[in-house]
């Protein structure tokens, strides 16, 4: 591995014009493809294998043309104080609004509140439901403008009018904080390298990699049904790892220059040593992201694969384009220890070298490993405590900020019709195999009326064939409550009894039931996913470190950091701690996919720092240093760069907290805090403490396994042998 990457690095340095031309051509090709590709709508949200999805599919077959999965809008009207919605003037306004809404080309139907009995008991609130042929993200701007204009016309008569539902769903934006994150990364790079040129290389290569990845996703979005969140996630992770991977290559290059090597040789050795760590760190991230496909949720699978592709591009750019740009930079990238004019002069040669902060910290940890280990574990355990109160769900209009019309419509419907009205359940009765479908429909309605927390059960609405019917059930509790979840399970239990008696299938669907099914599917998949991803990465790390205990310690440390990060997410987004600082206007359940998503992404990122830091320790150990001294040596050469990489990654992720999309905001915060816990508590404190306690046992590997494993040579020992370095010369370190 090291020898191959060494040759690749030298080739890229020497043929820099050709390498740069290839990457610029790829960026141009991807950009042209993105610009010429048809605009993509919202990614279709299907959950194979769930009862809610089966019911949706059945509705498409038995009720053709109803657009069961199309967008809906609820136009909610409230009469002025002292008036009723049944007053002639208000009634005329509502009916005129219904007529205007019905003229839209994408509108399937609009219900008249007075015919549908959609007026509250006190007569102050009414609503009209608009159903569309396409989803909210596919709805064209003209249809959305017509909806808003109709509501505004009604407002001008004195009525309060708000619009709920997903018809006004907008493409999320990240805001200016994303740019701030990149700016922070630039500052950290300048401080780390002391040179604008050296600092600019990681930023430039990361932006090129992300540009290629996001442009490719945009170009393929329509053909592959990719949603807007997919490109946002790819940008988030691609920027973070792209900067970090380039940072490690450039740092190692400067260290090789400090050893007195020629620039082409230094570029080759940087690619052969630090590049090997980049390859394996990237592999762990790719494994974690691609592994999301085991959950069998198409949207999550596409997000993971797209982000994994961007990570793969970041690895390739770090191994080829970074050495090429180093060739262009020439003497503007100085050896380690020699700073440019930007941050002052380097120390004089006759001055004794002072131990850096990493050396002093590692020496302290080696002297006090038990105290550091206990403090780190207890601290992360305390941060993880809120995770015991984790409530999962998917966002609805009730989680929107109170400034939005969707949230105000939600509140008006709760006021007029009860909280459960915002999450109606659709029961689909398939009586095709029963002898008396009408009797089955009536029996199903009666069974549902007998359940707890049921406010309203509408009469069955059969299809033309008379073999399938829909029944709408209004719960007494809000959509995200445990009571509503219990009601869904109660209806399904009652349906099992009806099937046994009549051979009719009773299915529960609707957005509320779909959210419940998604949460359960994700919970069921979490353990298998964890076993698969951690297991594969564990095997990979055994090959890298040639040890059993080091990968085991890495996996256990990851569990600590991810639990602490989940605890922080619960504290902010569910409990409301520091919610104002984070821009969280409405607290509520944590999104169902957050735990499994954090497990996947955080594990991959955690292994980045494990590989980069611990390979420096193993490199020192295999070259003859004692275990404790190897820990200090690893920190002396790697802690500064790992710290810079972690701060950069945190800054990039934190930049997405400004997103208008609650899912992106939560992911950005969760990943930023997870990197903090993992880099600064687990990798910088717990890892050296454990290695100090284990001593030589940390690097133990059974002989039979040692013979069976391939020698990937992450430490670059093959390069020492090939170049004829003597044993007294220290291998260049980052």
Tell me what pLDDT residue 52 has: 87
Please say if the pLDDT value at position 506 is more than 60. Answer: yes
In the block, residue with structure tokens 């700016």: 183
Read off the pLDDT band of 730 (50, 70, 90): very low
3-class SS string, 325-387: HHHHHHHHCCCCCCCCHHHCCCCCCCCCCCCCHHHHHHHHHHHCHHHHHHHHHHHHHHHHHHH
Q: Which of 32, 151, 53, 134 is nearest to 511 (CA)?
A: 53
By mean pLDDT, which of 5-9, 318-322, 577-581 is the weakest?
577-581
Read off the pLDDT band of 228 (50, 70, 90): low
Task: Quote the CA–CA distance of 406 and 401 in Å, as a whole number.
Answer: 9
Please say if the pLDDT value at position 41 is more than 70. Answer: no
Average of per-residue pLDDT across 284-293: 84
Tell me what pLDDT residue 338 has: 63
* Helix and strand element counts for the chain (H, E): 24, 11
Read off the pLDDT band of 53 (50, 70, 90): confident
Tell me what pLDDT residue 490 has: 93
Other C-beta atoms closer than 10 Å to the C-beta of 390 total 15
In the block, residue with structure tokens 């493409």: 171
pLDDT in tens, 311-370: 999 999 999 999 999 998 888 888 876 655 555 544 444 455 567 777 888 899 999 999
pLDDT in tens, 689-722: 999 999 888 888 888 888 888 877 666 666 665 5
Task: Quote the CA–CA distance of 601 and 614 in Å, as a whole number.
Answer: 20
Positive or negative, the CA dihedral 166, 168, 171, 172 is: negative
Q: Which of 135, 137, 119 is nearest to 127 (CA)?
A: 119
Torsion angles phi and psi, residue 708, rounded to 5:
-80, -30
The pTM score is 0.77
Residue 118 near residue 421 (C-beta atoms within 8 A) = no
Three-class secondary structure of residue 508 per DSSP: strand
C-alpha 615: how far from chain center: 28
C-alpha 389: how far from chain center: 21
Contacts of the segment 577-583: beta carbons below 8 A, 24+ positions apart: 582/657, 582/665, 582/669, 583/657, 583/658, 583/665
Residue 4 burial class via C-beta count within 10 angstroms: exposed 0-12, middle 13-18, buried 19 and up? middle
Read off the pLDDT band of 479 (50, 70, 90): confident
Task: Quote the CA–CA distance of 224 and 222 in Å, as a whole number.
Answer: 6
506: alpha, beta or left? (left if phi > 0; alpha if psi -120 to 50): beta
Please say if the pLDDT value at position 242 is more than 80. Answer: yes
Q: Which of 145, 75, 163 is nearest to 106 (CA)?
A: 145
């Amino acid at each position: 591995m090291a020898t191959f990457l060494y040759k690749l690095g030298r080739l890229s340095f020497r043929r820099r014009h050709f390498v740069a031309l290839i990457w610029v051509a790829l960026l141009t090709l991807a950009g042209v493809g993105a610009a010429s590709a048809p605009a993509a709508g919202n990614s279709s949200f299907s959950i194979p294998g769930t009862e809610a999805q089966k019911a949706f599919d059945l509705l498409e077959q038995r009720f053709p043309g109803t657009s069961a999965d199309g967008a809906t809008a609820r136009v909610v009207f409230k009469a002025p104080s002292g008036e009723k919605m049944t007053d002639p003037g208000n009634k005329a306004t509502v009916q005129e609004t219904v007529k205007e809404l019905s003229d839209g080309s994408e509108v399937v139907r609009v219900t008249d509140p007075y015919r549908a009995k959609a007026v509250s008991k006190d007569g102050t609130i009414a609503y009209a439901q608009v159903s569309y042929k396409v989803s909210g993200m596919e709805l064209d701007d003209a249809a959305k403008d017509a909806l808003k204009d109709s509501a505004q016309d009604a407002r001008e008569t004195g009525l309060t009018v708000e619009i709920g539902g997903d018809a006004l769903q907008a493409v999320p934006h990240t805001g200016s904080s994303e740019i701030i994150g990149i700016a922070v990364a630039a500052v950290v790079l300048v401080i780390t390298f002391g040179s604008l040129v050296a600092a600019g290389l990681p930023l430039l290569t990361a932006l090129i990699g992300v540009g290629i990845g996001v442009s490719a996703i945009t170009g393929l979005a329509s053909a592959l049904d990719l949603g807007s969140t997919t490109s946002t996630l790819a940008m988030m992770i691609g920027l973070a790892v792209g900067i970090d991977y380039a940072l490690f290559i450039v740092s190692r290059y400067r260290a090789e220059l400090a050893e007195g090597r020629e620039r082409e040789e230094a570029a080759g050795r940087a690619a052969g040593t630090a590049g090997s760590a980049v390859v394996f760190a990237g592999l762990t991230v790719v494994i974690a992201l691609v592994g999301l496909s085991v959950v069998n949720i198409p949207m999550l699978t596409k997000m993971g694969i797209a982000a994994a592709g961007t990570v793969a591009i970041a690895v390739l750019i770090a191994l080829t384009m970074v050495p090429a740009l180093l060739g262009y930079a020439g003497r503007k990238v100085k050896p380690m220890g020699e700073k440019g004019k930007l941050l002052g002069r380097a120390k004089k040669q006759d001055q004794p070298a002072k131990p850096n902060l990493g050396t002093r910290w590692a020496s302290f940890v080696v002297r006090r490993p038990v105290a550091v280990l206990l403090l780190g574990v207890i601290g992360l355990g305390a941060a993880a405590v809120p995770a015991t109160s984790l409530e999962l769900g998917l966002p609805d209009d009730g989680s929107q900020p109170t400034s939005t019309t969707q949230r105000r419509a939600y509140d008006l419907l709760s006021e007029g019709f009860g909280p459960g009205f915002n999450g109606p359940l659709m029961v689909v009765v398939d009586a095709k195999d029963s002898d008396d479908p009408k009797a089955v429909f009536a029996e199903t309605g009666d069974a549902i009326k007998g359940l707890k927390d049921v406010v309203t059960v509408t009469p069955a609405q059969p299809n033309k064939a008379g073999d399938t019917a829909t029944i709408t059930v209004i719960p007494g509790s809000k959509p995200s409550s445990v009571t509503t979840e219990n009601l869904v399970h109660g209806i399904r239990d009652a349906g099992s009894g009806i099937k046994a008696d009549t051979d009719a299938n009773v299915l529960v669907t609707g957005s509320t039931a779909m959210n419940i099914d998604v949460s359960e599917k994700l919970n069921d998949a979490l353990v298998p996913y964890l076993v698969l991803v951690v297991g594969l990465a564990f095997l990979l790390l055994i090959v890298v470190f040639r040890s059993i205990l080091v990968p085991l310690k890495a996996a256990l440390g990851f569990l600590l950091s991810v639990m602490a990060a989940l605890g922080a997410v619960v504290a902010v987004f569910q409990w409301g701690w520091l919610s104002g600082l984070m821009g969280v206007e409405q607290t509520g359940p944590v999104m169902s996919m957050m735990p499994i998503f954090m497990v996947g992404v955080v594990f991959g990122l955690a292994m980045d720092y494990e590989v980069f830091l611990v390979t420096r320790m193993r490199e020192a150990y295999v070259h003859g240093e004692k275990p404790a001294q190897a820990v200090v040596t690893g920190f002396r050469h790697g802690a500064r760069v790992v710290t810079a990489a972690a701060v950069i990654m945190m800054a990039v992720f934190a930049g997405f907290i400004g997103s208008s999309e609650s899912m992106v905001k939560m992911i950005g915060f969760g990943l930023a805090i997870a990197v903090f816990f993992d880099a600064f508590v687990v990798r910088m404190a717990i890892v050296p403490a454990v290695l100090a306690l284990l001593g030589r046992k940390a690097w133990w590997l059974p002989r039979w396994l040692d013979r069976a494993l391939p020698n990937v040579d992450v430490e670059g020992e093959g390069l020492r042998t090939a170049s004829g370095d003597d044993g007294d010369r220290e291998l260049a370190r980052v």
